[in-house]
Amino acid sequence: MRNLLDIVAKAALAVLLIAGVGYAEDTRMEILATADQSRGWEAVGRLDFGGDGFCTAALVTSDIVLTAAHCLYDNATGKPVPPEKIQFRAGLRYGRAEAYRGIRRIVVHPDYAIEDVDRLSVIGSDLALLELDRPVRATHVKPFRTHLAIREGDEVQVVSYAKDRAEAPSREESCKVLTRDRDILVLSCSVDFGSSGAPVFVRQGDEVRIVSVISAKAAWDDKPVALAAVMEGEFEALLSEFARTPALAPVGNKTVRPREVRPTSSD
């Protein structure tokens, strides 16, 4: 396994924030333009920030989405984006979504520090959970389970939105884990701005499960790569942080106590 410090030395590292440059078309991408093409991927959605950009996110329960922590901070000020400014649109395709939901609560990984966004070390904790204002109950919008174990050479796939393919998700069916260390996965997947938070999937029999989310892009040996967190241990830390959040969250004229979320890993 190649030492990731070599990547730091060579990489033109660019964290994928919610605003950015254009996207070069990649022929490996399948645009999920129709209902048939999107079947099974409806729980991937676009996370919109009040006209100030977007990221990608995916349902892990009926009312919680997983995304990248850096998406939840204003790129210009470094301040958190207010929950009321965020909307999750599940399965968005050309102006229509399977569900539209506001955000009740935001929990980022306890080790994530927005001031470290230019450092490679932040990627290992670039994870966040968002609680929706109400569950997505549509039976065909099925949350994804997780599978946290991942090895160098494993085949993965990514479903994401990006700046110049913002109106429908695209799927890269086959890319690979080029290398990894304790904290970071280096993937051969094609990503760009807006792909932040996009789920990285592995296939388990007839099911796909989330193994990570996209955090950044880099150049490695003059080739574009994607960087993502190793979620082993880190996802559990995020879940624990979520469970520790004691604040009551108002919903309409009611006050609802946040519930405990349990991991759905196969490990």
pLDDT, tens digit (0-9, with 9 covering 90-100), for 218-247: 887 778 899 999 999 999 999 999 998 755
- What is the predicted pLDDT for the residue at 233? 93
Range among 8-12, 206-210, 246-250 with highest mean pLDDT value? 206-210
Is beta strand 165-180 parallel, antiparallel or unpaired with respect to 184-187? antiparallel
* Residue 18 included in any domain: no
Q: How far, CA to CA in Å, does 103 sit from each of 1, 57, 86, 239, 251?
A: 40, 13, 6, 17, 10
Q: Is residue 55 part of a domain?
A: yes
CATH number at residue 47: 2.40.10.10
| pLDDT reported for residue 42 | 98
Q: How many domains does the chain have?
A: 1
169 falls within a domain: no
Q: What domain range is 61 assigned to?
A: 41-143+232-256
Question: What pLDDT shows up at residue 260?
Answer: 39
The answer as to whether 189 is a domain residue is: no
Question: Is 20 part of any domain?
Answer: no
pLDDT in tens, 20-56: 333 334 447 899 999 999 999 999 999 999 887 999 9
Least confident of 24-33, 102-111, 140-149, 218-227: 24-33
Q: Residue 4 falls within a domain, yes or no?
A: no
